Amino acid sequence: MGEVIVITSGKGGVGKTTTTANIGTGLAKLGKKTVLVDTDIGLRNLDVVLGLENRIVYNVVDVVEGNCKLKQALIKDKRYDGLFLLPAAQTRDKSAVTPEQMAKVAKELKDEFDYVIMDSPAGIEQGFKNAIAGADRGIIVTTPEVSAVRDADRIIGLLEANEMEDVRLVVNRLRSDMVESGNMMNAEDVVEILGIKLIGVVPDDEQVVIATNNGEPLAGDDSLAGKAYINICRRIMGEEVPYLDLKRRKGFFAKLFGKG
Amino acid sequence: MSFVDFFKKKSSGETAKERLKLVLVSDRAACSPEIMERIKNDIIEVLSKYVEIDKEGLDIKITQADGEGPDEKSGPALFANIPIRTIKERN
């Protein structure tokens, strides 16, 4: 019996889908059978971030409406053993699925997989309610910005009201140079404000943009973000992993001339 | 900018943190300005029975009260600063 984890944020554009794709890839690399569910019906994107957009036949709405069996709608990622995607429908809207139906899908997947990761849409409406319906625990993604943290706080309140006890935080797109100059809140500031436990800090790394361009998540590679993502996966699995030093190492010449 | 100002100036990161704390206090308490105004008027009404209040100087706000232990969450608290002009004599 696996676990259902919802990735959510409140605010859009903070990196929920990228985080979902990388956590899924990382868990699969660590040998866990993982399925990623895109609950953003009408605005699906998890397929393109994973590079699986050309392989979609059926989607979650087809499953709910009985047009296909659950297994038929799952897309197997050929690059990683044990990684699957259940895509969202693109030509429907959030009302096509109810929270009860989504919870039932999640429950069914839980029997087959170690981890079922629900990628939530932005907002606190029906799509969000669908995404959290069957979830055992939650991961909130935020960036170190006033607007994103404020929305994260609201989401934490809603998850608490739904009696979700295990809710952890990913601080995404942290720029250590700006933290150092005092022009960005650091992860500790955000944790202090939100009052929930951290599960990961991901640096603002251009490699993430490149990975998304190519449809190849970078969890587990040598980039700083890739390492941060695989560490999140290990923490999800219950390991104690120390946090990375996100300070960009200055090159020799930069040091010499005091730049960079 | 003077030399002293340079050291006094808050970094934008600190400003962000302070602004967030304030906005979250009212978000969490879910108190609209209209409700605050009503609370204020009710306080004035009740207290006016006993004391004469400086209505202009009255200030109420919801702020953060510190919790006890390190794991204890701090909750919102209503702070009121109510200047009293005179205490009314009892009849």
- For an interface test with B, the pick among A193, A194, A196, A197 (most B C-beta atoms closer than 10 Å) comes out as A193
Nearest to A149 among B11, B12, B20 (CB): B20
Q: Does the beta-carbon distance from B27 to A193 stay under 8 Å?
A: no
Distance from CA of A148 to the nearest CA of B (A): 10
pLDDT value of position A123: 96
A11 token code pair: 């605010």
Mean pLDDT of A43-69: 97
Q: Which two tokens stand for residue A15?
A: 């990196």
Indicate the DSSP class of residue A164. -
Residues ≥6 apart with Cβ < 8 Å to A8: A16, A120, A128, A131, A132, A138, A139, A140, A141, A155, A159
Of all helices (H) and strands (E), which one includes residue A34?
A: strand A34-38
Could you tell me the pLDDT band of residue A221, with boundaries at 50, 70 and 90?
A: very high
How many whole angstroms separate alpha carbon A191 and alpha carbon A197? 7
A3-241 sits in which CATH class? alpha beta
A18 or B32: which carries more pLDDT confidence? A18
Residues from A contacting B (CB-CB < 8 Å) are 144-146, 149-150, 153-154, 157, 178-179, 181-186, 189, 193, 195
Chain A residues touching residue B17 (CB < 8 angstroms): 185, 189, 193
Distance CA A169, CA A188 (A): 11
Domain boundaries, chain A: 3-241
* A9-18, A199-208, A247-256: range with lowest mean pLDDT: A247-256
Contact B13 A189 (CB under 8 A): yes
- Among B7, B14, B17, the strongest candidate for a mutation testing the A interface, having the largest count of A CBs within 10 A, is B17
Of residues A254 and A94, the one with the higher pLDDT is A94
- Give the gap in angstroms from C-alpha A5 to the nearest C-alpha of chain B: 25
**What is chain A's mean pLDDT, rounded?**
95
The predicted structure's pLDDT at residue B73: 55
DSSP A112: H
Angstrom distance (rounded) from CA A178 to CA A122: 26
The pLDDT, as a whole number, for residue B88 is: 73
Nearest CA in chain A to B10: A182
Summarised one tens digit per residue, pLDDT across range A176-205 is 999 999 999 999 999 999 999 999 999 999
B20 touches chain A (CB under 8 A): yes
How close, in Å, is residue B16 to chain A by CA atoms?
6
Nearest to residue A121, comparing CAs of A129, A133, A113?
A: A129
- The helix or strand, by DSSP H or E, that contains position A5, with its residue range, turns out to be strand A3-8
Cβ of residue B65 closer than 8 Å to a chain A Cβ: no
How far A9 CA lies from chain B's nearest CA (Å)? Answer: 16
Q: What are the tens digits of pLDDT across the range B11-63? A: 999 999 999 998 898 788 766 677 888 888 899 899 988 999 888 888 887 77
Contact A149, A193 (CB under 8 A): yes
pLDDT higher than threshold 50 for residue A66: yes
Contact B27 A150 (CB under 8 A): yes
CA distance to partner chain A, nearest, from residue B46 (Å): 34
Residues A150-185 pLDDT 10s: 999 999 999 999 999 999 999 999 999 999 999 999
Mean pLDDT of A133-162: 97
Residue A128 has pLDDT above 60, yes or no: yes
Nearest CB to A185 within list B13, B23, B28: B13
Q: How confident is the model at residue A146 (pLDDT cuts 50, 70, 90)?
A: very high
Residue A256 has pLDDT above 70, yes or no: no
Per-residue model confidence (pLDDT) at position B59: 85
**Closest residue in chain A to residue B73, using alpha carbons only:** A195
